Amino acid sequence: VHWYMRSLEEVAIRTLSSLGVSGAGREAGLTGVWVGGKKACAMGVKISRWMSYHGLAINVHTDMRHWEGIVPCGLEGRQVASVP
């Protein structure tokens, strides 16, 4: 499962890079993709009976006021990013 999550992160990092977002990457011990200390890609995975279900969420041109109350992955003091 760890390999699968890191592979999905890599897809998001490459996607953001292809859109011109620089600095997208991982943070040690945390799941997801981060840009400038803010979470740029949230991920969710379920694996059951040899089937995997996954979701990725990247905020694009989002009014971040709607996200002010969100604590990404339960990490107090962290913010959610929107990419241009």
| 2 CB-near residues (< 8 Å, 6+ apart) | none
Question: Taking a C-beta distance cutoff of 8 angstroms, is the pair 30, 73 a contact?
Answer: yes
12 vs 18: CA distance, rounded Å = 10
What is the model's pLDDT at position 1?
Answer: 81
The residue type at 51: M
Query: What mean pLDDT is reported for the chain?
Result: 88
- In whole angstroms, what separates CA 41 from the centre of its chain? 2
Structure tokens at 15: 């996607």
Mean pLDDT of all residues in 16-25: 93
Phi, psi angles (nearest 5°) of residue 10: -60, -40
Question: What's the rounded mean pLDDT across residues 6-30?
Answer: 93
Q: What pLDDT digit, counting tens, does each position of 21-53 carry?
A: 999 999 998 889 999 999 999 888 888 998 888
Q: How confident is the model at residue 64 (pLDDT cuts 50, 70, 90)?
A: confident
pLDDT score for 8 = 92
Instruction: Report the catalytic residues.
Output: 73
Q: What's the pTM value of the predicted model, to 2 decimals?
A: 0.82
Mean pLDDT throughout 5-16? 94
